[in-house]
Amino acid sequence: MPTFPAYRPRRLRRTEPIRSLVRETVVHPSDLILPLFVVEGTGVRRAIGSMPGVEQTSEDELLRDAREAAELGIGGVLLFGIPAHKDEEGTSGYDEDGVVQRAVRRLKAELPGLVVMTDVCLCEYTSHGHCGLIRGGDVDNDSTVELLARMAVTHAAAGADVVAPSDMMDGRVGAIRAALDGAGFSHTALLSYAVKYASAFYGPFRDVAESVPQFGDRRTAQMDPANVREALREAALDVDEGADAVMVKPAMAYLDVIHRVKEATGYPVCAYHVSGEYAMIEAAAANGWIDGPRAHVEALTAIKRAGADMIISYWARQFARL
């Protein structure tokens, strides 16, 4: 007679080597993408209060951070540009000699093996902080799409491996793909922020990127957090238009969405563990309320377990150093 219970799950939890043998999900540094924020100038390294550990850096300092990321085996870097001059049309965003375009050329020249991705959006470049051209008090879709396509081509020309549109305009994936192909960049990959919610968790990012909307909000473009069927339609649309991989953003509050988008598309899924999600862990850890490193690892593991193939993480370097 076997003693009750026959199956004792705790047997496989007794020691770390045993736990490690049966562990289903392991995050590797190569799964992670590190966001970097580039500003004009040299020798600039500016801390951001709401994002401990995240800095705005000039190109020379950016190169140091990127080199460290490469040495740590991180999967790639994602560049955001903060230009010295902003205007209504966000012209510095699609300037061949813009802050991101120059940084990409430098990174690809000095670290050719590092995967360089760029954020394609106008909100960091417009004086009003919106993601495109304003007509009648709202972002005008089709004229914005034209500018985004121009911007993506300048990033590809600078050598970006992957362009990642984060604006949520309709039809931009197809337009960007066509523009890239037309300009001879059919090899440049397109990671679409297919499923981007109008989230309260982007607050700290807007401090770093200096992209707080000067009026209104982004709810006419970004998705309602209540919707998941719509997420599947958005993802399907972007795949149809030529996206190579699709993003879900934010991550922690949207694990069900990550899972369902992965199942529905079968495409590589990237999850963006966004600024507010990162800052909450950092803030609680700074207060001694939670164990920061354990919470970060648990969060990243959960996001991968949900179905993410790659994760954009402000904690990528700290993770890789563990």
| Residues near ligand PBG (CB under 6 A) | 119, 121, 123, 131, 166-167, 202, 205-206, 218, 274-275
Q: How far is the CB of 66 from ligand PBG (least distance, A)?
A: 18
| Cβ within 8 Å of residue 16, ≥6 positions away | none
Q: How far is the CB of 51 from ligand PBG (least distance, A)?
A: 9
Q: How far is the CB of 202 from ligand PBG (least distance, A)?
A: 4
Please say which residue, 80 or 184, places its beta carbon nearer to ligand PBG: 80
CA dist 27 and 166 (Å) reads: 25
CA dist 97 and 103 (Å) reads: 9
Q: What is the DSSP letter of 196?
A: E
Please say which residue, 274 or 310, places its beta carbon nearer to ligand PBG: 274
Query: What phi and psi, each to the nearest 5 degrees, are found at residue 122?
Result: -95, -5
CA dist 95 and 132 (Å) reads: 15
Q: How far is the CB of 131 from ligand PBG (least distance, A)?
A: 5
Catalytic residue among 86, 249, 262, 304: 249
| Cβ within 8 Å of residue 8, ≥6 positions away | none
The residue at minimum Cβ distance from ligand PBG is 205
Q: What's the one-letter identity of residue 305?
A: R
Please say which residue, 185 or 205, places its beta carbon nearer to ligand PBG: 205
CA dist 291 and 297 (Å) reads: 10
Tokens 């001879």 locate to 184
Catalytic residue among 86, 108, 196, 304: 196
Please say which residue, 123 or 320, places its beta carbon nearer to ligand PBG: 123
Q: How far is the CB of 232 from ligand PBG (least distance, A)?
A: 21
Compute the C-alpha angle 104/108/110, nearest 5°: 115
3-state secondary structure at position 9: helix
Q: Is 249 a catalytic residue?
A: yes
Q: Is 196 a catalytic residue?
A: yes
**What Å distances lie between residue 264 and 193, 259, 267, 269, CA to CA?**
16, 9, 8, 11
Please say which residue, 90 or 307, places its beta carbon nearer to ligand PBG: 90
Show which residues are catalytic: 196, 249
